[in-house]
Amino acid sequence: MTRSLAIGEDITTFRQVQEKLGLTLTENSEFFTEWMAELPALSEAEQVRLEQVRRNYLYQISDGVLLEETIKMVVLSPLLELAGFYQPPYKFRTEVSVEIEAEGDNEEILRGRIDALVLQGKLWIVQIESKKTTFDLEVAIPQTLAYMAAHPEPEQPLYGMVMNGSSYLFIKTLGKQYGISDLFATRSPYRNNLYEVLRILKHLGRLIVN
């Protein structure tokens, strides 16, 4: 008998990603080079804006954790605007319901929704489901991979960004493999990592429309 399971409850670890979805973390250093590629340069105006975004975020979080909607307004929305994702040819869809048939002998179908923006059906912008910015991104990655695994054309490269305001990382899936970028922290004392986050977003944005 087929069982219906909630993704948010049933896919919470990397082991479950492998056992239920058949996805494995690649050891090939050439698999996910897009986040390290020759990235587009930022204009002086963009750098000034990102400095302001960073200051705004650090100020707002100075008294404690931020609600999800605040993070969207203070950080995520400015990043998407600077990346050009609110303009043609880009189109978003949100809160996508998905259904996945899990691997293995058990007849299981995973169903669920995710707090995500899906760009051109190929780039997932995921703000973690927790209402607190202290929530670890490690918990969100397996669920994000589960939703990406539901794509009808898994043999083409798919990308994701998982963020909680304090930290950002990027994901790539291709077939039954996935790769993960380094972690970019907003509170780095040495550099504004939002520069790299925006440059990567711009680069991935170009890839998904070509």
Q: What is the pLDDT of residues 179-195, one digit of tens each?
A: 999 999 999 888 999 99
Judge whether residue 134 has pLDDT over 50: no
**56 alpha carbon, distance to own chain's centre:** 22
On the question of pLDDT at 197 being above 50, the answer is yes
Helix 194-209 with 44-60: angle, nearest 10 deg? 120
- What share of the chain in percent tops pLDDT 90? 54
pLDDT over 50 at 132, yes or no = no
| Band of residue 73 on the pLDDT scale cut at 50, 70, 90 | very high
Neighbouring residues of 168: CB distance < 8 A, sequence distance ≥ 6: 161, 162, 183, 184, 186, 193, 197
User: Can you tell me the mean pLDDT for 151-171?
Assistant: 91
Interacting residues of 69 by C-beta distance below 8 A, sequence separation 6+: none
Predicted confidence at residue 130, as pLDDT, reads: 39
Average pLDDT for the chain: 85
Residues whose CB is less than 8 angstroms from the CB of residue 87 and which lie 6 or more positions away in sequence, other chains included: none
28-65 pLDDT per residue, tens: 999 999 999 999 999 999 999 999 999 999 999 998 87
Res. 115: pLDDT tops 80: no
